[in-house]
Structure 1
Amino acid sequence: MSRCLYPGGASFNPAEDHRIVRRVIAEDPDWTLALVPCLSNLCLQTIVRNFEEKPIFEELTPIQKGFVEERLSVSLHLHVTANLIGDGVYWKRCCQQRWDICDVSDYGHDWKRMFFERHMENAIELFIPGVTEPKTVLEMVPLCKNYIKRLDISQLLPPIKEPQKEEEEYGSELASDNEYDRQCMDHFDFSILLNKLTNLEELHLVYRVKQCGMNFEWIMFEMTDKDCESLAKALKSCKALKLLRLHQSHLDDKKCRLLAKYLLDHPSLRELDFSHNLIGDRGARAVGKLLTRSKLETLNMCDNTIRGPGAKAIAHALSKNSTLLSLNLRLNRLRDEGGQAIGKALLNNSTLLHLHLGGNEVTGLTAIALSKVLVQNNTIRSINLSCNNLGVDGGKALEEAMSHNTSVTECDIRLTDVDEQRVSFINKVVWTNQSLEQKRRAQESKKKK
């Protein structure tokens, strides 16, 4: 074995003297020979670090894309990521970092769709007219228009209330008690946005302010005439829209008629929900006309102020309609004038499946009219007459009709003063019909297989 010399000529054996054995000390304390990263991973890490300045993604393999998506910062500007990174891990991380509750099943199991729909909803819900620049919303359109299919707007903020001057605050008692009413209260203008969202299929709107606290004013909970006009024009240009829900917004006859006018002959609208508003007979007539010139399948007018004349207009349209499947007129004021008109119309209708007339102050006369329908009509599947005073005569007519019916699988006559024995008989018929329906579906399923 060769020996070495110390300075001065003394010899030594390196294997015997551990003091001079060479050592490699890593700068990273976690580094070991077993964890040396491969060159491709080092390159991918470099891509992640410099993604905003030089986004490289399309050229990567699926495995490499997954590596990058798991490590990219969720705070990257949307101009960089929106039209480059498809649905997957990255958008899942973005959603979970921003919102506590993320049920992707509500968005067709598409994380990217969830992110952009909720991102746009937040922008609209926090938009303050006169303060927020419209471009803050419009700048997002090129980035998200391909992914937005539904918007669920749970609030719309009014302009900021200007403080009253001292002399106004303590001035004449002749002044309005609500200076807020005289100010411009127009909300976000949907006409600048909806025509650009070419894939929008559902629009849910509520004109209200959440968590208004001590600043509460009734006018915060309704749409203005200008709001209605701009929305109506925007809806007409929204050709892909299938569902419109505008509820709890003090929608009255005038606004309802304007909206119905612009929705006439809409090519794709299938469901209309104007529930929990202030629509009366004139608005109901406009909706009746809409039924004759649209392809609506579901109409919900629950909790309005529709009376007999308005119900007659809807009934007239119903007698000629061949597309409507569900009609909800619960919690109106139809009484027998409207209830009997609906019953008479259904004798000439063979498409309606579900009818809800609960809480409409109808009596046995309406029940008798609908009994004729139950005998002749084999299409209707559910009927709800709950919370009405049908009485003995109404119960007897329904019992007789149901004894000949094989199609109704739901008949709700709770709180109607109908005798318990008749209610029990009707329920048994309903259960029998349900069993027949289940057998029929099972047979159809076997045939398809």
Structure 2
Amino acid sequence: MQQPTAGGRSTAVPSLFPSQPSLSADFYYTHRIIEDPEWSLITVPHLTELCLQHIVHNFEKNPILDRLLPKHQRKVLDRLSTSLPLTVTANLISDEDYWKRCCTERWQVCDISNYGHSWKRMFFERHLENILKCFIPDTTDPNQVLELIPLCKDYVRKLEVDQFLPPLKVDEEEVRDDLSDTESDFGLGEDSVHHYDLGVLITALPHLEELHLTYGVKDCGMNFEWNLFNFTYQDCCNLAAAVKMCHNLKVFKLTHSKVDDDKTRLLVHNLLDHPCLVELNLSHNLIKDKGAQAVGKLISHSRLEILDLYNNQIHHLGAQALAQALAENSTLKSLNLRLNCVEDKGGEAISRALLTNTTLQSIHLGSNNLSEPTATLFSQVLAQNTTLMSVNFSCNHLGLDGGKQLLDGLAANKTLTEFDLRLTEVGQETEYLIHQIVWANWEAARLASLQHPPAKPL
């Protein structure tokens, strides 16, 4: 019989039954194998592999990625944890696959088309946005933002912050009295609800081009109070000063934030002669005529191409100021005044401006209490203007005669490709005939674009 040895091998040992007849050695001797559970056929890893494992496990203390060969860098990056401190990875790792893992492990929906098709940019923009949305003044440590600036400043191009939390501590008298809607509208208790000052942050982001802000609280539930939705005058001062210093800013959106005339004028004062701003969105606010007059001044002293004042409280005086600026402007391409109350005095003023304006391509005047006088004058615009491509008059009371006037104006028009007349009472036949003309223009424009495609940028 054989005696087992280390590693599962065995040696022969005498038979347990030596008195048995010895027919043959193989017949009277048996084998007993005792397996070593630690013994394996797997070969010892290469020294290179052991070194790479060590580098991965100690990367936080000794990040030597740049000293490795490209093939070894790839192996290390594929194994690195996404929970490593940003102080280690931010300015060292540029590999998109690593940042893709960081994004997909943190957020369920990841569309990099909104971030210049860059996973690293997505991670830092969304990470910074999350910090700002959860920042509580006088409670959250400001270093959370300040320490992130040198790590993210080279990658942040756009910030979309749809929530700003107020301080936890509010004025005791305000709590007792439980501010009414009217008191909140007049800004009482503003001293207690100032929000985080973006000044230090956005002026330290040299590549910031878009800023989308909403001052309010999401999902407040049963804890609703009006002062949670109060964009204070001090907030406006801080923001206006910061935006003025953000010289590369191209798009500025401040929506659903109760921006009134005084705050609009303050913002405009700091945006005059801005070198890069091309889009301004102040929709869903409380802007009236004085605020619109200030915006009109901005149109005349800026390079704005897109202006959105949707859902405010602008009447004919404000519309007339915008029209005066529009008549002289040579950059604005899109104007949205939907859901205001410019009425026919404002509509006629805008129509006259478009008789001389040669740059505006799209205008939205839906839900503005417009009627036949505006339609009559606008028919002249359709007949003479060769720049407008999209017009929206929906939800106004233009009437049958107004519709006929617009149809007559369109007879020789070859540029308008969109014309929304829903709920304007112009009549089905007129609306159908207008649709046919506009469709023919659209088809002609499509064929022309196929024959002469736009040149690709260099």
Aligned to 1:275: 283
Name the SS of the counterpart of 1:209 in structure 2. coil
Q: Quick one: distance in 2 between partners of 1:446 and 1:208?
A: 42
Q: Quick one: distance in 1 between partners of 2:290 and 2:266?
A: 11
The Cα shift of 1:305 comes to 0.4
8 Å contact kept, 2:169–2:192: no
The Cα shift of 1:65 comes to 2.2
Aligned to 1:303: 311
AA at the equivalent of 1:286: A
The Cα shift of 1:400 comes to 0.4
Q: Quick one: distance in 1 between partners of 2:261 and 2:434?
A: 38
Aligned to 2:161: 153
8 Å contact kept, 1:66–1:89: no
AA at the equivalent of 1:390: L
The Cα shift of 1:113 comes to 0.6
Aligned to 1:378: 386
8 Å contact kept, 2:170–2:193: no
Residue of structure 1 aligned with 2:349, choices 321, 341, 356: 341
Aligned to 1:391: 399
Provide the identity percentage.
48
The Cα shift of 1:447 comes to 8.6
8 Å contact kept, 1:298–1:327: yes
Deviation per CA, 1:345-401: give whole Å up to 9, x if none: 011111110000000001111111111111111111000001000012211110101
8 Å contact kept, 1:358–1:387: yes
Aligned to 2:227: 219
Aligned to 1:414: 422
The Cα shift of 1:32 comes to 4.0
Task: Tell me, yes or no, if structure 1 residue 359 matches structure 2 residue 367.
Answer: yes
The Cα shift of 1:180 comes to 8.1
The Cα shift of 1:20 comes to 9.6
8 Å contact kept, 1:87–1:110: no
Alpha-carbon distance change, 379 to 46 in structure 1, aligned in 2, over 3 angstroms:
same
Q: Quick one: distance in 2 between partners of 1:136 and 1:177?
A: 31
Name the SS of the counterpart of 1:421 in structure 2. helix
Q: Quick one: distance in 2 between partners of 1:232 and 1:177?
A: 22
Cα RMSD for the two superposed structures: 2.7
Task: Tell me, yes or no, if structure 1 residue 317 matches structure 2 residue 325.
Answer: yes
Deviation per CA, 1:170-200: give whole Å up to 9, x if none: 99xxxx8999836511001011211101111
Name the SS of the counterpart of 2:386 in structure 1. coil
Name the SS of the counterpart of 1:89 in structure 2. helix
Q: Quick one: distance in 2 between partners of 1:389 and 1:13?
A: 109
The Cα shift of 1:46 comes to 1.1
Q: Quick one: distance in 2 between partners of 1:377 and 1:446?
A: 23
The Cα shift of 1:61 comes to 3.1
62-71 or 367-376, larger mean C-alpha shift? 62-71
Aligned to 2:249: 241
Name the SS of the counterpart of 1:278 in structure 2. coil
Q: Quick one: distance in 1 between partners of 2:177 and 2:267?
A: 41
Q: Quick one: distance in 1 between partners of 2:332 and 2:177?
A: 57
Name the SS of the counterpart of 2:441 in structure 1. helix
Structure showing greater radius of gyration is 2
Aligned to 2:152: 144
The Cα shift of 1:36 comes to 4.8
Task: Tell me, yes or no, if structure 1 residue 423 matches structure 2 residue 440.
Answer: no
Q: Quick one: distance in 2 between partners of 1:265 and 1:60?
A: 50
TM-score, normalised via structure 2 length: 0.88
Deviation per CA, 1:101-127: give whole Å up to 9, x if none: 222222122111111101100111111
The Cα shift of 1:63 comes to 2.8
Alpha-carbon distance change, 239 to 26 in structure 1, aligned in 2, over 3 angstroms:
farther
Alpha-carbon distance change, 421 to 119 in structure 1, aligned in 2, over 3 angstroms:
same
AA at the equivalent of 2:80: L
Alpha-carbon distance change, 94 to 170 in structure 1, aligned in 2, over 3 angstroms:
closer
Q: Quick one: distance in 2 between partners of 1:134 and 1:284?
A: 36
The Cα shift of 1:26 comes to 4.1
Name the SS of the counterpart of 1:306 in structure 2. coil
Q: Quick one: distance in 2 between partners of 1:317 and 1:170?
A: 45
Q: Quick one: distance in 2 between partners of 1:20 and 1:154?
A: 75
8 Å contact kept, 1:156–1:209: yes
Name the SS of the counterpart of 2:211 in structure 1. strand
Q: Quick one: distance in 1 between partners of 2:116 and 2:142?
A: 29
Name the SS of the counterpart of 2:307 in structure 1. strand
AA at the equivalent of 2:416: V
8 Å contact kept, 2:190–2:230: no
Aligned to 1:89: 97
Alpha-carbon distance change, 431 to 285 in structure 1, aligned in 2, over 3 angstroms:
same
Aligned to 1:331: 339
Q: Quick one: distance in 2 between partners of 1:163 and 1:66?
A: 56
Q: How does 1:72-87 map to 2 (within 5 A)?
A: 72-87=80-95
Aligned to 2:22: none
Name the SS of the counterpart of 2:192 in structure 1. coil
Deviation per CA, 1:227-264: give whole Å up to 9, x if none: 00000000011111110110000000000110011011
AA at the equivalent of 1:258: L
Deviation per CA, 1:243-289: give whole Å up to 9, x if none: 01100000000001100110111111111000000000111011111
Aligned to 2:443: 435
Aligned to 2:18: none
8 Å contact kept, 2:184–2:226: no
Q: Quick one: distance in 2 between partners of 1:222 and 1:200?
A: 26
Name the SS of the counterpart of 1:445 in structure 2. coil
AA at the equivalent of 1:431: W
Q: Quick one: distance in 2 between partners of 1:231 and 1:46?
A: 48
Name the SS of the counterpart of 1:411 in structure 2. strand
Name the SS of the counterpart of 1:196 in structure 2. coil
Alpha-carbon distance change, 447 to 18 in structure 1, aligned in 2, over 3 angstroms:
farther
Q: How does 1:61-210 map to 2 (within 5 A)?
A: 61-162=69-170, 164=172, 169=176, 181=189, 183-210=191-218
